[in-house]
Amino acid sequence: PDGDPIMRLHALNLAVHRRFALDRGRAVAGRSAIAAFSQGAASPRDMAQVFITAARVLAVPARYVSGYSPVCAVGAGRPAPHGWA
């Protein structure tokens, strides 16, 4: 959408999530946004990197943040590594 930058970023986020199937497996260390974009599935870290790259192309400052998320836990309900833009 034209105009409101926040609406553009929401649309970008939705497009990234529609583009990829979510891969909750172990992320590939050092995978670039370009390499991630060529895959059919992406980890949360990959999706964040794709979003950040696209946001920067739109002249919106963006950076990567990592941590642990209980929502992304697989198996025994332990917190799992996660990445956000």
Nearest one of 57, 63, 48, 65 to 8, comparing CA atoms? 57
Q: At what angle do helices 44-57 and 5-19 cross, to 10 degrees?
A: 140
The region of weakest confidence among 10-14, 30-34, 61-65, 71-75 is 71-75
Domain 5-84 falls under CATH 3.10.620.30: yes
Q: How far apart are CA 9 and CA 17, in angstroms?
A: 12
What pLDDT score does 10 carry?
94
Q: Delimit the domains of the chain by residue range.
A: 5-84
pLDDT in tens, 24-49: 777 777 788 888 878 888 888 889 99
What pLDDT score does 35 carry?
84
